[in-house]
Amino acid sequence: MRRTILITVLAMADAAVSMDSAIKKWPSPAILLPLYIWPTNDFIWEPVYTAAELHPKIQFQVIINPDSGPGYTEFPATSYITAVARLNTYDNVFMLGYIPTYHASRDISDVRNDIMIYSGWACFKNQNIALSGIFFDEAPNTNEQSSIHYMTKISNIARDHHLSTVIFNPGTKLEEGSVNAYFEAADLIVEFENSYSTWTNTAPADRFSLAKDHYKDAVLLYDVSLDTDYYQFLREAKQLGLGAVYLTNNADYKSLHSISIIAAMLTKAL
């Protein structure tokens, strides 16, 4: 029994290293997709499957959120298992589990439990539903040492459980004095999550905490109108060297209307 457990743990570690290395080999920016729609049938996530298949040179970092986190069961619902396993068949798709931090006020033991559940998905025997990392939502942006320590600790917990890709989402630029510590703890940080009009009306210097080197920055834009020039934005994202982006027409990420457009325009921009 101990030998079986050891083999499973080693396999999970090898998979995590492999996925982390694979993520870094892709051109930037990636598509950071908050896939918060429950896969009630085989067709709900079809736009994502299609986009990933048609655009194999684009990296998709897909955030799933079964129940404001993984929920309380060892494995997700059958519909989730089927949908996640299908996404895992694409080499350019990397799955991330959603976990809220309540701006570093959530009990770390609860965060740890969520991490352990997501990590345990790698042990599901019938299909591959392993995740490659964690998306920590409602992350702090402050320079308070308690917040920095909190985020560093949960990042380390995720990586210790073979979830090697870590993303923080404060949704706004980091405060001075916290930048180096947060970027050291995370692979990507969403420093701008807002409406598309707010993006266009915000001076470039006010969007990010660093004046350059945005390869660890991600941008999530909502309320994007149908006549928006996606290609122009994605070219700007490429020129800025952003690590990941996403645009959608609503604020709750319950529409997949834009995923095919983004993938096509990003392929063109690359």
Rounded CA gap, 164 and 15, in Å? 10
Tell whether the model's pLDDT for residue 5 goes beyond 80: no
Give percent above pLDDT 70 in the chain: 91
Instruction: Return the pLDDT at 10.
Output: 45
Instruction: Determine contact, residues 53/93, Cβ cutoff 8 Å.
Output: no
* Three-class DSSP category at 240: helix
Q: Which has the minimum average pLDDT: 3-7, 22-26, 149-153, 243-247?
A: 3-7
Instruction: Return the pLDDT at 270.
Output: 81
Query: ∠ CA 269-246-159 to the nearest 5 degrees?
Result: 110
Quickly state the pLDDT bin for 7 (edges 50, 70, 90): very low
pLDDT in tens, 196-228: 999 999 998 899 999 889 999 999 999 999 899
Between 41 and 190, the higher pLDDT residue: 190
Instruction: Return the pLDDT at 23.
Output: 54
* Look-up of token digits 């941008």: 219
Instruction: Determine contact, residues 97/151, Cβ cutoff 8 Å.
Output: no
Instruction: Return the pLDDT at 226.
Output: 84
Instruction: Return the pLDDT at 26.
Output: 75
Domains of the chain by residue range: 2-269
Across 64-69, average pLDDT: 97
Rounded CA gap, 43 and 253, in Å? 17
pLDDT in tens, 248-269: 999 999 999 999 999 999 999 8
Tell whether the model's pLDDT for residue 45 goes beyond 70: yes
Quickly state the pLDDT bin for 21 (edges 50, 70, 90): very low
Across 183-200, average pLDDT: 98
Instruction: Determine contact, residues 211/205, Cβ cutoff 8 Å.
Output: yes
For residue 29, give the DSSP letter: P
Instruction: Return the pLDDT at 25.
Output: 65
Rounded CA gap, 159 and 101, in Å? 17
pLDDT in tens, 115-174: 999 999 999 999 999 999 999 999 999 999 999 999 999 999 999 999 999 999 999 999
CA distances from 262 to 36, 235, 237, 255 (A): 18, 11, 12, 13
Instruction: Return the pLDDT at 24.
Output: 59
**Burial state string for 147-181 with b = 16 or more CB within 10 A and e = fewer than 16:** bbebbeebbebbbebbbbbbbbbbbebbbeebbeb
32 beta partners: 61
Instruction: Return the pLDDT at 49.
Output: 98
Give percent above pLDDT 90 in the chain: 84
Domain 2-269 classified CATH 1.10.3470? no
Between 232 and 1, the higher pLDDT residue: 232
